[in-house]
Amino acid sequence: MMRYEIDPKGVTLTPEQARSRRLRNIAIGLVIGALVVLFYAVTIVKFGPGVTKPPI
């Protein structure tokens, strides 16, 4: 059974918990970055060349 010591200033992560959280955050950051690139590329393709010719 896990026992947690609660510091009045907040929760203290164990080294394993801190490491796994850092790895998850890096993975989430990479995925979000890839999604940004994907949506950017798809938007350009969907709009096509007409996006550079504003209506008069």
The residues of the shown chain that bind another protein, judged by CB under 8 A, are 1-8, 11, 13, 16-17, 20-21, 23-24, 26-27, 38, 41-42, 45
For residues 25 and 33, the answer to whether their CB atoms sit within 8 Å is no
Nearer of residues 10 and 55 to another protein, judged by Cβ: 10
User: What is the distance between the alpha carbons of residues 46 and 6, in angstroms, rounded to a whole number?
Assistant: 52
- CA dihedral of 16, 17, 22, 28, whole degrees rounded to 10: 130
Min dist CB 2 to another protein, Å, is 5
Min dist CB 16 to another protein, Å, is 6
